[in-house]
Amino acid sequence: MDPKTLRTAFGRFTTGVTVITCRSSDGEPHGATVTAFMPVSLDPPLITVALTRTSRACTYLDRAPFAVNVLAADQVDVAMNFAGRPSADPIRWAPGPTAPVLAGTAATLSCRPHRTDDGGDHLLFLGEVAAVDTTARPPLLFSDSTFAEVGAPASESVWAGSFDDPHSGWFDAACDFTPISARPASTVAGTVPHGRP
């Protein structure tokens, strides 16, 4: 697989932009810009982030608490700072429940270490969310190697009330998970009972 082609394909998936923060080996606040962040579970509350194996943050995150700072739309300079291009303005740090956090973000998830897994040229850090802070600030997006902001809705369709409504759960108590092969023929979708046209 050509890495450039694969990177381009990955770039078609629009993500938010996060800065993973922790403490360095000398106790100083440290951060790394990461777009490979994913919520995993509500119960227990788990998230995962992927960091390049060669990054300094990987050595600092080994069995250490960290925070996922979801950047706001006006924090491009913060994203670039922690990606290796220092910002002209000072970074605004704040104390957090598990690790130092950034001020002015759209949301912050403070995590305890849960597990580290192999992810090829990355390491996957699974964290248990210990505290959450959310704001009304719109998030910063990243797509096709470019920063973007949330725009107009793509359609008038709403998520709430659909069969996949996360507010009521993916499946309710009325869902029948009986394997199709074990159901009577008349209840299998597309099956016509014997004796009927």
R_g of the chain, CA atoms, integer Å: 22
186 assigned to some structural domain:
no
Query: Are the C-beta atoms of residues 139 and 106 closer than 8 Å to each other?
Result: yes
Q: What is the predicted pLDDT for the residue at 194?
A: 43
- At residue 172 the predicted structure's pLDDT band, cuts being 50, 70 and 90, is low
Q: Is residue 106 part of a domain?
A: yes
Q: Is residue 168 part of a domain?
A: no
User: Does any domain span residue 187?
Assistant: no
Specify the number of domains making up the chain.
1
Higher pLDDT, 102 or 150: 102
Inside any domain, residue 82: yes
Band of pLDDT at residue 189, cut at 50, 70 and 90: very low
- Contact call for residues 32 and 51 (beta carbons, < 8 A): yes
Please give the Cα distance from 22 to 17 (Å, whole number): 17
Instruction: Confirm whether 180 is domain-assigned.
Output: no
Identify whether 196 is part of a domain. Answer: no
Q: Quick check: is 17 in a domain?
A: yes
Please report the pLDDT score of residue 195 as a whole number. 43
Instruction: Give the start-end residues of each E strand in 45-154.
Output: 46-52, 66-70, 93-94, 101-102, 107-119, 122-134, 140-143, 146-149
* Domain membership of residue 58 as a residue range: 3-145
| pLDDT tens by residue, 79-122 | 999 998 988 889 999 999 999 999 999 999 999 999 988 888 88
**Predicted confidence band at 13 (pLDDT cuts at 50, 70, 90)?**
low
Between 14 and 192, the higher pLDDT residue: 14
pLDDT tens per residue across span 22-50: 999 899 999 999 988 999 999 999 999 99
Alpha carbon distance 10, 22 (integer Å): 27
CATH code, domain with 59: 2.30.110.10
